[in-house]
Amino acid sequence: MKKENQTPTMKDVAREAGVALGTVSKVVNGLPVGYSYRKRVEDAIKKLNYQVNTYAQGMKAGKTYTVALLIPNARDPFFASLIYYINIALSRQKYRMLLCSTDFNPSLEQEYVNMAQFNKVDGIIGLTYNPDLIVEEDTPFVAIDRPIGSRFPCVASDNFAGGQLAAEKFADLGCRHVAFLRTGSSLNNETNKRRSGFENGCLARGLSYEMKILNDDEPYALFEEFLMEHAREGKFDFDGIFCVTDRLAYLVMKSLKKLGLRVPEDVQVIGFDGIRHFGDADYVCSTIVQPAQEIAEMCVELLVHESLSMKPPLVCLPVTYAYGGTTKDPEAEQKGDNP
């Protein structure tokens, strides 16, 4: 990568316009300048195609107009969606976005946080997994999904309500005996809320339910076993399965197929996240949709707006239900969507 040739600087503009450096600065920053001077400067700027150097500007101001987004992995569809919307929200506020893939690596997460603290970025939006992440008090930081300490705001979906919603949908769709399947790190409180909400909803609507909860390090095969055990003699014990993510729902559906069970005829499935085929086509399954756009906008809002006075510790954004072919929604019967 070779070095740039000279791009015009304020000094060049000043020389071209025959004015002093400070005058150019004032014009650029919209401070009062006599008309004839302003005109000459503006002409010179156009002629030289001048543009302020944001880094030099930032060095003076102690700002970089850059925000780092820490996220495990850009390929995951939910994370990709977050990246997409956060990017849009930031550029609307004239901020650049530095993408930092952490790959679930705690030490990488810490490294990026350190970078931010040394004035390299103005703030961080982080979806991190390091429970011991150290963030200086005065570093602008907004967490997604996992609260970091108690000093920084955290934005998440209303996971409890999402669990409830799933149970209610099952009840509305005629289910009686349902199951909840979850995997994931046990220190992730937010997905635990999905479970609690679901339990709560089942109780409220008189559904009997069973849970199967796995840790990250346990193999998926255990779920398949669980399903098999409940499929003795051609009859399946559940008429509804709530999966903690769409990804898990996808795997579960493959297992059900192996068992000769039809979705949604024999058993209905609801996932969580709101993943769509190709990012924006139809839903991969009936699901509780996380409001990715709202989450993104809230994060940026909290980070950028200096209404620092009272940052809420935890913001829960409302989730919605979406039909995706794996439930028996009456109004969706005729549509050929979602095989």
Partner DNA sequence: TTGTATGCGTTATCAT
Partner DNA sequence: ATGATAACGCATACAA
Q: Which amino acid is at 198?
A: F
Q: How many CB atoms lie within 10 A of CB 17?
A: 22
φ, ψ (nearest 5 deg) of residue 28 = -60, -40
Length of the chain counted residue by residue: 339
- Measured distance CA(206)–CA(193) in Å, rounded: 20
The Cα 172–Cα 318 span in angstroms is 20
63 binds a copy of itself (CB under 8 A): yes
CB of 263 to a copy of itself, least distance (A): 10
CA 205 to CA 207: how far, in whole Å?
Answer: 6
139 lies in the binding site for DNA (CB under 7 A): no
CB of 2 to DNA, least distance (A): 16
Distance spanning both ends of the chain, measured CA to CA: 49
Which partner from the list a copy of itself, DNA, none does 279 bind, CB cut-off 5 to 8 Å by kind? a copy of itself
How near is the Cβ of 305 to DNA at its closest, in Å?
20
60 part of the interface to DNA, by CB under 7 A: yes
Residue with tokens 């809320």: 193
Q: Which entry of DNA, a copy of itself, none binds 332, CB below 5 to 8 A by partner kind?
A: none
DSSP 240: E
The answer to whether residue 26 forms part of the interface with DNA (CB under 7 A) is: yes
Residue 34 binds DNA, judged by CB under 7 A? yes
Q: Is 49 in the site for DNA (CB under 7 A)?
A: no
Out of 132, 233, 306, 333, name the contact with a copy of itself by CB under 8 A: 306
What is d(CA 255, CA 253) in angstroms, rounded to the nearest whole number? 5
Supply the Cα-derived Rg of the chain in whole angstroms: 26
Residues 61-90 within binding reach of DNA (CB under 7 A): 61
* 96 in contact with a copy of itself (CB under 8 A): yes
Tokens of 13: 């503009």
From 15, 57, 224, 266, residue interacting with DNA (rule: CB under 7 A): 57
List the structure tokens of 58: 């930032």
Do 282 and 338 touch, CB atoms closer than 8 A?
A: yes
List residues near DNA by CB under 7 A.
6-7, 9-11, 19-23, 25-26, 28-29, 32-34, 36-38, 52-53, 56-57, 59-61
List residues near a copy of itself by CB under 8 A.
1-5, 7, 51, 53-56, 58-59, 62-64, 66, 73-77, 80-81, 83-84, 87-88, 91, 96-99, 101, 114-115, 117-120, 122-123, 138-140, 246-247, 250-251, 254, 257-258, 275, 277-281, 284, 303-306, 308, 336-337, 339
